[in-house]
Amino acid sequence: MAKAVNIKKLVVPLIAVGLVIAVVAVSDDGGGNADEPSDNAIISADQFNIAVQDPTLVAEGEVLYQASCALCHGSDLRGTEIGPSHLSVVYQPGHHSDIAFTLAARNGVRSHHWRFGDMAPVEGLSDADLERITAFVRETQLTNGFEPYPPG
């Protein structure tokens, strides 16, 4: 009988601790998850380890981006009615690596994050062009931060 009393003395505090943890978890605003932020604030790019890009590549990439990407993704990378923002946290390097931009332009992309429809391949861009465009996108992300996903 003495053992039963000791177990009861342990169970009540454990239940109390569990309830406190559950209440904290339910009331947590979910902040800190880079893929699913809880508000519409800009997400700092600092946490994504984006390297500072070569200024020459960035400048050349901006010209190429404006000519080949801006119609759909916006001249400011913030998207349009026909294409998503490249400043969305979806495009941070841990989710879409640099090669993802090259593959998207080369092969097109089936719609999977957005409801804009599939992206067709982009004709006329060399690997060097795509490297420059990616440098421009990454530098702009580094400078401006990321928008939450889904957009608010």
pLDDT of res. 150: 84
pLDDT of res. 71: 98
pLDDT of res. 100: 96
Helix H segments across 69-126? 70-73, 98-107
pLDDT of res. 77: 97
What are the structural domain ranges in the chain?
1-30, 45-144
pLDDT of res. 151: 82
88: which strand partners? 147
CATH topology of domain 45-144: Cytochrome Bc1 Complex; Chain D, domain 2 (1.10.760)
Q: DSSP code of 79? A: -
pLDDT of res. 54: 98
Question: Do the beta carbons of residue 64 and residue 126 sit within 8 Å?
Answer: no
**Encoding tokens for residue 9?**
């003395």
Neighbours of 77 (CB within 10 A): 21
Residue (of 71, 118, 125, 74) closest to 102 by Cα position: 125
Question: Tens-digit pLDDT profile for the chain (152 aa)?
Answer: 555 556 556 555 545 444 444 433 333 333 344 444 445 578 988 889 899 999 999 999 999 999 999 999 999 999 999 999 999 999 999 999 999 999 999 999 999 999 999 999 999 999 999 999 999 999 999 999 999 988 87
How far is it, in rounded angstroms, from Cα 28 to Cα 3? 38
